[in-house]
Amino acid sequence: MNNNELLKVEDLSISFLTASGSLQALRNVSFSIPIGGSVAIVGESGSGKSVTALALTRLLPSPPARYEKGKIFFRGRNTLDLSQQELRKIRGGGIAYIFQEPSTSLNPVFSIRSQIAEAIRLHRPEVKEIDEEIIRCLESVGIRDAARRMHDYPHQFSGGMQQRAMIAMALACRPDLLVADEPTTALDVTVQAQILEELLRLRQIHRMALLLITHNFAIIRGLCDQVVVMWRGRVVECGETELILQKPRHPYTQALLECIPRLGRGKGKLKTIDTAELEKRAADYEASVSSVSNT
């Protein structure tokens, strides 16, 4: 790792033990995130995005998960070699998560205040005025009348408000890296835009790194500096966001971009991915790349 890298994943391969045998979920996944940088992992459902995100702090239960090979360096330490006690210090305090279904991530029997307070006590024991810090965190994500609303329960918040509360809880731990796993999937379009704008604003304010997990290329422009494209558990392309959006090389990346609805296309069916055609194009592309690298 160089001094500017916060996170570095090297040749990570993970499988799951199933009733019918071993299922390969990740194959030789490699990417890095610089200090204060922003990276998006893009791909279809089942491509390995969430498995990669959960593996960073070994949140995948083992078994059935099996970390076959590879390394995950965070602040220069391989998380795959750390004890559970050491991992607990990283989870939340070093790497915090926002998941796509806030209603299932928030505990329905505890108030918003108690849930954020627990995170602060665990990762920032030096904070004495916990209520003041909770109010500040809630206000920073756009929740009005935070002094009153923090005593509400999750069911009293709308979907967008619940997601903002989740972001506030994550930020309360002051993480170096925020992992946002499909954070806007369950929200309507207007709220999606608000949450993404909030993430961009907060990342700049707190100077934290961001790892955005998404299947939607349309939301990453202006939010992420780098893109990692995953297909069937492998990284097939990575690079600067604008470069990949303008000149995608791998056929899978091209197919994903072609599926984005655009104004001005006129009438007609939405573009979908033809699996058989994609597999042929991908095989031809990878064979050509391999032949060039071997010469």
38-42/226-231 β-pairing: parallel
Q: Distance between CA atoms of 146 and 151, rounded to whole angstroms?
A: 9
pLDDT at 203: 82
The pLDDT of residue 122 is above 80: yes
Q: Distance between CA atoms of 280 and 276, rounded to whole angstroms?
A: 6
Q: Are 198 and 206 in contact (CB under 8 A)?
A: no
Model pTM score: 0.89
| Residue 267 vs residues 13, 62, 261, 270, 274: alpha-carbon distances, Å | 43, 49, 11, 9, 20
Average pLDDT over residues 168-188: 85
Average pLDDT over residues 201-212: 86
Helices (H), the chain: 49-55, 84-90, 102-105, 112-123, 130-140, 146-149, 159-172, 189-206, 241-246, 251-258, 275-293
Q: Distance between CA atoms of 176 and 35, rounded to whole angstroms?
A: 8
φ and ψ at residue 12, rounded to 5 degrees: -80, 125
Among the ranges given (110-114, 202-206, 230-234), the one the predictor scored with the smallest mean pLDDT = 202-206
Least Cα distance to 98 among 221, 218, 185, 30 occurs for: 185
Q: Are 94 and 176 in contact (CB under 8 A)?
A: yes
CATH label, 5-94+173-293, candidates 3.30.1300.10, 2.60.40.10, 3.50.50.60, 3.40.50.300: 3.40.50.300
